[in-house]
Structures are given as C-alpha cells and as structure tokens.
Amino acid sequence: MKVFLTQTSPYLTHRSWSYLEHLGMGFLEKVATDIGFEVDFYDATWEWEEPEAVVDRLFGSGTPCSLLGCSVNRSNFESTIAAVQLARSRGYDGHITLGGYFPTFHYEKVLRNFPEIDSIVMGHGEYTFAEMCKHIAAESSLEQIPGLAYRADRDSVRFNPNRGSEEFLSSVGIPVHRPRYGVARLITSRGCSWACTFCAVNTFDKHGLKSKYLRRDLDEVLEEIDRLVKDHGVYHIWLSDMDFIGRDREFIEGFCHHLLRRKHKVTFEGDCRVDALDEPLVELLAAAGFRALFLGVESFAKRQLDAYSKFPKTKANPDVDGVVKLLRKHGVTPRFGFIMFDKDTTLDELERNHEVISQTVGYGTLDSLANKLAVLPGTVLERNYLKDSEHCFQVFIDQTNKLQSHLYYTQYRFQDARVPFVYETCLTYRNKVSRIQELFDARLRDGTIDYTEHYQALWSLRDRFAPILSEILVLAKKADAPATLSREQRIELDQYLIDFSSKRGLDAGHVRQAVEAEDRAPGPRLA
C-alpha cells in the first residue's frame, strides 16, 4: 500500500519560518515505512505551491495512494480543504485523514462540515497513524483504532480514545529528515510539565501521553544529531520541544556535555522558560552551541501574567531584563514569545509592553507581531472567558462560515474601546511585514542570500515595527482618535518599511507594491 503525506501552503501573511522541515511528517513517514508501506511526501510550503500542485503530485506519484494524510493548522486549513475537495473532484477515492492541533481541537465540526474527509488523527499521531495504515491495507473497520475520530455514517461522528501510545512514542526512533539550507528540526521531548492557563499543549497531549512530559532516549537524540551532520551537512538545529529544559535539568546538562565531546560545528536554538535559566546553565548552553533561546515571556503587565498563570504564585516573577543581559553576555540571542492583546488589554498595558520590548530584545525577535491571544479549546482560560458572556461568545460553524478557521475558536471583544484601532492597525502592518518577507524568502530560495543573512534581514525588518507601533499608540491616545489611518498617515508609516527594505537590496517598487497590496486586501486576517 502507498501513503501520500502532505502539507499545503498557508495564506500569504502566515508564511513564517517556511524553510524549516516538517518534523511531524518525518515521524509519520518513519512509522509507515517501518511497517512496510511506501510513502510519498510533498511539502507545498517549500515553494508556496497552490493546492492544484499538491493534487497533481498525488495523481502523478506512480502507484495509486490508498491513504492521503494532511498536516493542518489554522493558517493552512483553507488550502488543505481546497486540495482535498479538488482531489475528490478528480476522482480520488482513497481514505483522507487530517492531523495536527487544529483538527484535533475541532474534529467534530470539521468532520460534520466536510464530507470529503474520512477521519482525523488526534494528538500525537504516530501510533494511531500506524494502526490506521494497517487497517486500510487490510480493508478492515476503523472502529478499533485508538486515537481516531471518524465519520461513522452521514450524521454521526465517533472518537476512539487513545491508549498505549506513550510506550509507542518512546520507541518510534529517529524520524525521516529533509533539512533545507543546512537547518533541521529536532525534539528531545514531548509534552510540557507546566500548566499555563492559555496554553493547549496539555489538551493536545492527552491524546497519547499519560504523563505530562516524555523524554526521548539521550543516546538516540545524539545519534540523530550525528546523522544530521554526517548525512545532511546540517549546521543549525532548531529544538522544537515545547520546553526543552523541562524540569529535568540533568538531561540537558548531559546533552550539552555530550555535544561538547562530539565537537560538531553545529549551532542550536530552542524554547524554554525564563525561570529555568541561571548563569551556570546559560554558560553551558552557549559552550554547547546554543545561539538563540526563545523565552515564553507573554507580557510585562501583572494582570496578564496573573490571568495566564505564567509563573508559580509561590515565586516572584523572574527578572526578564536580567536574563536577557545574561544571555547576551554569553553570546545567546534572546527571543520572546509574547501576547500583546487579550480581552482586557488597556492602552497603558500596551505602552508598558511596547516600552520594555523596545528596550530589551526588540520586535525582530518576537514570535509574532501584534499577537492576539487565541482562546484555545480545553484550556482554563477558555472556561474563564466563557463566563464573561458580555464580551465572549462562540460562533456556530455551518456551510456559510466553515472555511473561516478563526471562527472555530472562542471569540471576544476588547473591553477598552480604543484597543480595536490599535490592534487592527498593528495587524495590517504585521501583514505588510509578512508580504515583504515573501520577497526576502524568494532571495533565500534562489540562493541570493543564505540562511543567516535571511533571518538577520527578517529580524531587522520586524524591528521596523517599533516606530510604527509608537505612532499608532500616539494616535490612539488622542481625544479625537481615528477609526482608521488616513491615507497620509498610512503612507508615512509605509515608508519605514520601504526605506529599510530597499537598503537591504530589495527593489523599492516591489516593496511598495507589496505593502499596497495589503491595503487592497478584502480585510485583515484575524490572528
């Protein structure tokens, strides 16, 4: 039996970090080939291919594929559905399954509204996917497959609870890698041992993990790095753990000491908590090759930190500025995960966060500009928000709005009447930055710039957001605050981006066309 795995392209303004390999698909390919199935994998994000290219590859891959598996997130949901529907219209009659955070959280809505889809693999999917391959090959029922949601008949959706997959996940082994530009992804763990109220990692992980945190075997991880260096020429690795330090510091210390003994010329970056770092650990991480650490800071406003339960109440909030200085002292670039907007955000909080970000790491290192809190299913924060029926609500998904992925989540209105202007204007400029990023991405793909020059350009480009947000906040505080920017104000702010990009080698006319294209877009894509 042949399996086709794919990831479709997200819409334009969500094309961040597209040059990285899809590690999850690498694990699925590993388990499918281990049990004897042929796998064809096609990542449409590498060249920003349209859904038609995905379907052409599906039908042109030689042996007919009995199973089509799509990795789905909120930003590529629409293009995935387009590909699935096109495949069906061209006669594909195999099994179609989706996996990932978005379909896991919304499996019932997706299966009810899209009859082209047969099933959804819930949570960590390797065990479920392997079992499904066996059942489809044997043409047997899906009823006994753990961790699978599927359409039992026209009107009913069923879900089989997962069981036994944690043991399976601990023995999956080394995934299939397809690094690009000398950069690879890798994980040392699954899950998260913390419990922030806004985060749905634990909700996702319950489909497969009995414990909250599962470490891979250290020797296996080190062997994987050896292979990446030897077989693929990798020189930079992005650790994609939710929190690679976790609560077992001994593992990370051993990991770093082994890296030092191997003497690979490889650099690393990864995600961790601010309160997990001290100078001995930072010094060791830097010596082992870590050049950037992504810190889940979320906010500098006490109200937000308390609402998110970001740090234990028994401990004082960590000294973020001190950690930033410590990292820089040892040559490690600090990056921030940040939630700029939520239901209760005030202008004072926005000014406070803007001031500290500008003075510490800058906007170039944020995970997302103008990031708005997504109220994720199954979280404590979702339950708290739904108690506020005046400002929060859920939208019923039907045939009229089924492609609007942001509506699948709990919606909310800002309480401060001035904040919508700030958010919507910031969102427009975030999208303009993303459109310019597309031009830098093209230079990376055609070899005009390398990976290092590419991310340095992007970080510097995103830093141009700082003076733009400063101007937006000034306008919002005025008694006669505008509902939207005037043409003159927009042109002035656009010029920050055009001037920067042209100095970095982009054609000023092409940049101007990119930012003006966002103004002509039918409306801002909600974050």
pLDDT of residue 525: 46
pLDDT of residue 524: 44
Q: Of residues 316 and 359, which shows the higher confidence score? A: 359
- Assess whether pLDDT exceeds 70 at residue 269: yes
- Assess whether pLDDT exceeds 70 at residue 468: yes
Q: Which domains are assigned to the chain? A: 2-162 (3.40.50.2300), 179-396 (3.20.20.70), 417-527 (no CATH)
Helix (H, G, I), strand (E, B) or coil at 311: coil
Give CA torsion, residues 378, 104, 123, 383, to 10 deg: 0
Q: What is the pLDDT of residues 20-46, one digit of tens each?
A: 899 999 999 999 999 999 999 999 998
Segment (H or E) for 236: strand 236-239
Segment (H or E) for 71: strand 67-71
Q: What is the pLDDT of residues 361-394, one digit of tens each?
A: 999 988 778 899 999 999 999 999 999 999 999 9
The pTM score is: 0.92
pLDDT of residue 318: 82
Q: What is the pLDDT of residues 47-81, one digit of tens each?
A: 889 999 999 999 997 889 999 999 999 999 999 99
CB 76 within 8 A of CB 43: no
Confidence of residue 421 (pLDDT cuts 50, 70, 90): very high
Which percentage of the chain shows pLDDT scores above 90? Answer: 78
Q: Where are the alpha helices (DSSP H) in 201-293?
A: 201-205, 218-232, 249-262, 279-288
pLDDT of residue 193: 86
Confidence of residue 527 (pLDDT cuts 50, 70, 90): very low
Which percentage of the chain shows pLDDT scores above 70? Answer: 97
88: phi then psi, degrees, rounded to nearest 5:
-65, -40
